[in-house]
Amino acid sequence: MNITQDRLKILEIMSSLSIDRASRALSKSLRTGARISLSKISIADFGETTEKMNEDQREMISVMVNFKGNEGCKLLFMLPLEGSLILTDLFLRQRIGTSKECDVFTESAIQELGNILASHISNALVSDFNAQLIPQPPQVHNDYAGVIFTNLVLEQGMIDDKLLLIETIFEISGTELECYLFLVPEMNSFVKLLDSIGVKT
């Protein structure tokens, strides 16, 4: 994977813009203070990241979105069960603490979050950088972090021992929710995108 510091900086700007738009849309949808902000973007070792995910033994609710187009990628958002129940209550406009277990309402809330994230991230990349990204229907999963992350990597068809990870901080109603948000692009297509906007190796 050949990503220079200049390319990494451009990817950080692209990611920050798209995540900011998704954050504003989520806040509007929930009618409450919600903020998603970029924590870091890095070239991570596949093995180390998988080990980190396997060490997290909490039950997670996740949404995975596959993007089709010239610049394909996958988005994975997952948060512990407790956080997903808070999100469910906010989507249903009910008192936080009302939802007690994962059910169809929880899955619907996470699915809607996936739609918001995917549509605004892809819209930002399309409008600002002429990418071609079409989000596919989100897939909701309820499992452990390591299992969910492994499925992401297997679906991505890893051919390298490195991968680009974009991590975020998710804050809602003044409470920071622990979560993982990964954007895993198909590196060859994103290298071509960077070439097209003048970011050379």
Q: Convert the pLDDT of each residue in 109-120 to its tens digit.
A: 999 888 888 887
Based on C-alpha coordinates, what's the Rg of the chain? 16
Question: Is-above-0.75 flag for pTM?
Answer: yes
Work out the pLDDT band at 106, boundaries 50, 70, 90. Answer: very high
Q: What is the pLDDT of residue 141?
A: 92
- Alpha helices, H only, the chain: 5-30, 46-55, 81-91, 104-129, 145-156, 187-196
CATH number of the CATH domain containing 17: 3.40.1550.10
Distances (CA, A) of 42 to 7, 74, 93, 165, 167: 11, 16, 36, 6, 9
Q: Give me the helix-helix angle, 187-196 and 5-30, nearest 10°.
A: 100
Q: Which residue has the higher pLDDT, 110 or 22?
A: 110
Domain that holds residue 30: 5-196
Q: How many domains does the chain have?
A: 1
Domain for residue 18, yes or no?
Answer: yes
Q: What is the pLDDT of residue 172?
A: 75
Domain for residue 53, yes or no?
Answer: yes
Domain for residue 80, yes or no?
Answer: yes
> Which residues, other chains included, contact 176 with Cβ-Cβ below 8 Å and sequence gap of 6+?
169, 170
Work out the pLDDT band at 201, boundaries 50, 70, 90. Answer: very low
User: What would the pLDDT profile of 109-168 be if each residue is shown by its tens digit?
Assistant: 999 888 888 887 777 767 666 667 788 889 999 999 999 988 877 766 555 566 667 777
Domain for residue 201, yes or no?
Answer: no
Would the pLDDT of 14 be above 50?
yes
Residue 40: how many other CB atoms lie within 10 Å: 11
Q: In whole angstroms, what is the distance from residue 15 CA to residue 11 CA?
A: 6
Domain for residue 146, yes or no?
Answer: yes
Would the pLDDT of 181 be above 50?
yes
Domain for residue 45, yes or no?
Answer: yes
Domain for residue 78, yes or no?
Answer: yes
Domain for residue 34, yes or no?
Answer: yes
CB 4 within 8 A of CB 196: no
Q: In whole angstroms, what is the distance from residue 24 CA to residue 111 CA?
A: 18
Q: Which residue has the higher pLDDT, 101 or 173?
A: 101
User: What would the pLDDT profile of 82-104 be if each residue is shown by its tens digit?
Assistant: 989 988 988 888 888 999 999 99
Residue type at 172?
I
Average pLDDT of span 66-75: 77
CB 60 within 8 A of CB 142: yes
